[in-house]
Amino acid sequence: MQDGRSADVVVVGAGFAGLAAAHELAGAGARVAVAEARDRVGGRALTRLLPDGTQLDLGGQWVGPSQHEMRELIERHGVRTYPTPEHGRAVVDYEGALVDAMPAEVTALYGELDRLSREVPADAPWTHPQARCWDGRTLASWLDERTSDPAVARTVARQTAGALLSLDAADASLLETLFYLVSGDGLDVLAGFAGGAQSDRLVGGPQELAGRMAAALPAGTIHLGAPVRRIEHGAGGAVVHAGALRLEAARVIVAIPPVLAGRIEYDPPLPPRRDGLTQRMAAGYALKTHAVYREPFWRARGLSGISFSSAGVLTETVDNTPPGGPSAVLTSFVYGADAHRLRTRPPGERRRAVLERLAGLFGGEARDPVDYVEFDWCAEPWTRGCFSGHLAPGAWTGFGPALRAPVGVLHWAGTETATRWNGYFDGAVQSGRRAAAEVLAAG
Ligand SMILES: Cc1cc2nc3c(=O)[nH]c(=O)nc-3n(C[C@H](O)[C@H](O)[C@H](O)COP(=O)(O)OP(=O)(O)OC[C@H]3O[C@@H](n4cnc5c(N)ncnc54)[C@H](O)[C@@H]3O)c2cc1C
């Protein structure tokens, strides 16, 4: 690393990827500057405490047992976790009827997707012998071929493209879907509560962990309110323009969503393949809403608060009540085009639609919450969608090799670049650590 610069390495973005990268680099003795556009760290982790202390996680919230990178950080920074409540039965609404289990044809298609996904190499999906075929078709067209029953196709689409990738099946390539499944240990783990990806929450939320990670970095490392809009780069290093700051460094790790990485001005411009990649990696969209009640009234009816619906305004719900309250919370999720349609309705109408559906699932008390909270990640200038970005049909085979390949002194991190738990906090941490290792190896 060279002297006479503001830092050895500039990290762009203080989400989990950027913070993890900064930790690895600082731990190895490098001088690091982190430029963060917002006035806070944590990125897509955002926790709000209601006046009575009830914790709402407006962004990401869960960690699962096989998310080893996050587990290690949680342990290291002394953050406590608690299991997602599962008191009682889940509600499964299949085409307007409450059923005990999904039809066999639905579960058979889940099984087939899972089986195919295990063939996909998560570090290079474009190398699979079927990659071109699977990349060139959407999950929707694959489902149309596999079943003549539109309800079956819609259910599988909602549970996979929707609930996991926050996309419509017509926007998700089969290859991207399979990659996502294999990167997250398969459908059962991805969709599961106890033992699955929705196993535990963090006391204080993931933002508490992000705050502790930031506090453990050397003083002055993180620059808040420093949006990076331009990066000049060459063999000798880079100059990063971050708000009023001009940061010089030997190397840069860009740890932000690809859709935003593509909006930075690079001088010289990035190679066409890298630029083409960010043009084709749009963010999905999920609308997550929280209805707050005095009591978890659904539990008295033997219901867990967990639901899945094959149709209707809400795809999924979950009991998000923290242990010991003080209030009870039902959190709902809407995905893809359904979410975009809902967010364009006036706030009062939107709230009524969500609460009416909750009443249908759990009882009339759901119509009268003491509070109702939404957060629109699509409208956030420093996120612009959620849960994460996905390569469009055809893009893995055309542009996939550019996903992680450094461009000179520029390195790429962020959950969208992860090979394991892509789209999740765990993938963000993996990506930051991987990019830091690249920088350290470059000397
Ligand atoms: C509603 C929702 C629910 C989710 N649920 C879960 C869950 O339960 N479990 C789970 O594991 N994951 C979940 N996720 C996904 C998880 O939040 C993300 O995978 C993870 O936070 C991504 O981290 P990151 O560091 O890659 O990106 P980000 O968190 O997006 O961090 C990027 C940072 O860069 C900053 N930035 C952007 N552009 C610039 C710029 N030009 N200059 C400087 N700074 C910039 C941003 O402000 C941000 O702080 C969810 C996400 C959402 C939104």
pLDDT by residue (tens digit) across 138-156? 999 999 999 999 999 999 9
Instruction: Reply yes or no on domain 9-43+207-270+407-442 having CATH 3.90.1150.10.
Output: no
Q: Is any atom of ligand 1 closer than 6 Å to the C-beta of 199?
A: no
Distance 56 CA to ligand 1 centre (A): 16
- Cβ partners under 8 Å of residue 390, min gap 6: 165, 167, 171, 172, 176, 180, 281, 282, 283, 284, 416
Cα 53 from chain centroid (whole Å): 25
Give the chain's radius of gyration (CA, Å).
22
Q: Is any atom of ligand 1 closer than 6 Å to the C-beta of 420?
A: no
pLDDT at 442: 96
Cα gap 224→173, rounded to integer Å: 37
Mean pLDDT of 211-219: 98
pLDDT at 138: 98
Q: pLDDT by residue (tens digit) across 158-196?
A: 999 999 999 999 999 999 999 999 999 999 999 999 999
> Which residue's C-alpha comes closest to atom 34 of ligand 1?
13
Q: Is any atom of ligand 1 closer than 6 Å to the C-beta of 393?
A: no
Taking the CA of residue 413 as reference, the ligand 1 atom at the shortest distance is 26
Runs of H (alpha helix) within 79-162: 104-117, 131-135, 139-146, 150-157
Distance 15 CA to ligand 1 centre (A): 6
Q: Is any atom of ligand 1 closer than 6 Å to the C-beta of 432?
A: no
Tokens 């929280």 label which residue? 290
Mean of all residue pLDDT scores within the chain: 96
Would the CATH topology of 47-65+80-88+195-202+283-379 be identical to that of 104-191? no
What are the sequence ranges of the domains in the chain? 9-43+207-270+407-442, 47-65+80-88+195-202+283-379, 104-191
pLDDT at 4: 56
- pLDDT > 70? residue 3: no
CATH code of the region 104-191: 1.10.405.10
- What is the CATH architecture of 47-65+80-88+195-202+283-379? Alpha-Beta Complex (3.90)
Q: Is any atom of ligand 1 closer than 6 Å to the C-beta of 64?
A: no
Binding residues for FAD: 36-37, 228, 416
DSSP H or E run through 308: strand 303-309
Distance 43 CA to ligand 1 centre (A): 4
